[in-house]
Structure 1
């Protein structure tokens, strides 16, 4: 199993000591802020000037302004002068920039940012834009206060190759962002392929437009150095009050400041997500030490599979785990199955029955094995600790439509970016779902097409373990550089992610499955649905209720 390590760091370095932080992580899309605890009083001159400043910022977030700064002062009270600016991330379309700034200035005066409107020094990141104001001028000055989000290290990459590509690419993107005159947009992105597969590195750099090229590069250099110091070059993002730099293995930035293209995504993706529990793949233990002829173990394995195939009648969650103890520890075997979160009892039953029979024939003497269907997974092992309540991300089953290109078209780039921003949101859905560790999310790709996404972990995992399992798939198993269409799936032993252009998890599809004639079995080892009807009269009653 690939190791996956997260080290969460939060570091705040400031030039003054009167700042307090209210967040522990910086990332685009978050609502982050740090406001000085040196507060003015309501309706004071400074506070009224802050309100006027915010109004100026909002009214100037129009046309193609990605950055704007201004000053609001009082004729006889220079100490009440307020300096302020807004900055939108460089990939944001102008329409969305003005909307972001308008929403941010409105929220600053509300309870969304407690006491920020009374602060004499504040920085607010509101999704895709940043607002900053102070009673001291900060224009054209590098502020090296920074936030560090996370270090992620995985043996999915050759670290030497990764560092070589990262060093070259991040230097190029910093040069490009800094190489523009004062007042110009200082933003750049760059993508580089990591050798040995379909993985890419995505880099983004930005400075406030009031910085000189030299000061912008100085700020970015400090951010890069901080990343290298605290995370051996594997940390991202690093954001200061004057610049930010970010790199990751998925396309987190928009491919263009233009609005999404209106073209329809064409596809010839061959999917097995039919209404019937189609077989996908299996994996038997190949290590010689994991192959056995021990009759006691094989007898216990047979009992285990029999128990799993009958447990769907006693569980309403589509998940069951059990252990058959042997007289000797080496004869003990544990197993589990998990059906898709919204699956009906009858389809869960059909899938588990097929899985137990097929895994018996495919892996007759394995001490551990896993089998995937499009409706369920089933696995067993002689090592209970590696199977129950434990994250396991290998082996995996993958199915994508791939085009090996270094120059994707605009439509391809947009649907890939849409997927990359949508799939992490499914994790939030999972945390609030009534079905443990299961979630779906839909988002419009264009006027004609919708992207459907689904993620699920085995219910015995904690929220944190579920999140880390899905992160592993999201970052290292999806070929972001080369997706020909927004359709595919990755299934591991502990979790999986599916996405596509058809509503493969809707109730209507499942009801329609019952009305159709039963298909021939996927293989000789799969149980046809008629066998279920003849053996389980109670399920026929359930079926008739669904028909009528």
Structure 2
């Protein structure tokens, strides 16, 4: 009579732990600096029958990656004459050296995967970007817009655009004193800007000013936006609960949705895991005692 009880208890126990198992995949890394923003791949592929270009590109990538553990910006050249290839990387100003290296080391793989081997390529992640160009590749204006994204409807209420514009104006004023990288916030609007590492202070200010104007005209009342020009980028986000502080375990800032709700969700998941685990252990003990009692009665009879 005691034997059918044990499988029933184990089956019930598995049901008790099922919510705990379902919670595990929901956990996500706080770091988003390696998320892909955009890719730029030249239409013309390299003609490389001898592999000389491939060798030069590999050497260039190796040099850039090696420098990313100690620099936030670096330019390099490999090859000579027609086979000369120039390139650079830049990390976001708030990344640590370790995060910068981790970010940059992924870029050559992504360039090869997303672009192959064109005459020029650029991959932008949230925390860093890398580009290379073969000799003679046509140059573009530093003010040319490469990519934009505007998201979310206006939930900031009346006067949101004025608050955003005030925050962006503070960014314009501060970028010159921030060595090409600057962040600030104003009434729940967080803004960030960065210029290419070798840009002068005046050119950086002009580039950011252009990017701010594009953000205002292109994104309208959107609560977040990112504008990437060739030599600089700006971004803004609305955080109803205040701009997030940088996490000690992450070099990134949460999205507006995560900033306003993520803490509660994390706490809820932790409580659910604890309660689920405790309930499961308690149920297991009850099953074992119940089964032992039945087996004892069976032996006595």
Q: Quick check: TM above 0.5?
A: yes
Q: Which residue of 2 aligns with 1:186?
A: 180
**Cα distance in structure 2, aligned partners of 1:503 and 1:46:** 52
Q: Which residue of 2 aligns with 1:113?
A: 114
Among 145, 158, 163, the residue aligned to 1:165: 163
Q: Does 1:57 align with 2:57?
A: no
Does the 8 A contact of 2:111 with 2:122 survive in 1? no
Q: How many residues align?
A: 252
**Cα distance in structure 1, aligned partners of 2:289 and 2:209:** 64
**Distance apart, 1:127 and its partner CA:** 4.6
Among 72, 76, 81, the residue aligned to 2:78: 72
**Cα distance in structure 2, aligned partners of 1:72 and 1:547:** 75
**Distance apart, 1:544 and its partner CA:** 5.9
The SS at the match of 1:508 is helix
Query: TM-score normalized by structure 1?
Result: 0.41
Instruction: Specify whether residues 143 and 49 from structure 1 end up closer, same or farther in structure 2 by C-alpha distance, changes over 3 A only.
Output: farther
**Distance apart, 1:105 and its partner CA:** 2.6
Q: Which residue of 2 aligns with 1:94?
A: 97
Instruction: Specify whether residues 474 and 103 from structure 1 end up closer, same or farther in structure 2 by C-alpha distance, changes over 3 A only.
Output: closer
Does the 8 A contact of 1:100 with 1:128 survive in 2? yes
- Bigger fraction of residues in strand: 1
Does the 8 A contact of 1:178 with 1:207 survive in 2? no
Among 207, 218, 226, the residue aligned to 1:230: 218
**Distance apart, 1:101 and its partner CA:** 1.5
Q: How does 1:200-211 map to 2 (within 5 A)?
A: 200-211=188-199
**Cα distance in structure 2, aligned partners of 1:511 and 1:221:** 59
- Bigger fraction of residues in helix: 2
Q: Which residue of 2 aligns with 1:242?
A: 231
Question: Where in structure 2 are there 5+ consecutive unaligned residues?
Answer: 1-31, 292-301
Does the 8 A contact of 1:40 with 1:47 survive in 2? no
Q: Which residue of 2 aligns with 1:37?
A: 43
CA-based RMSD of the aligned residues comes to: 3.5
Q: Which residue of 2 aligns with 1:459?
A: none
Instruction: Specify whether residues 487 and 34 from structure 1 end up closer, same or farther in structure 2 by C-alpha distance, changes over 3 A only.
Output: closer
Q: Which residue of 1 aligns with 2:152?
A: 152
**Distance apart, 1:139 and its partner CA:** 9.5
**Cα distance in structure 1, aligned partners of 2:218 and 2:207:** 17
Query: TM-score normalized by structure 2?
Result: 0.70
Instruction: Specify whether residues 515 and 51 from structure 1 end up closer, same or farther in structure 2 by C-alpha distance, changes over 3 A only.
Output: closer
Instruction: Specify whether residues 242 and 137 from structure 1 end up closer, same or farther in structure 2 by C-alpha distance, changes over 3 A only.
Output: farther
Q: Which residue of 1 aligns with 2:26?
A: none
Q: Which residue of 1 aligns with 2:246?
A: 255
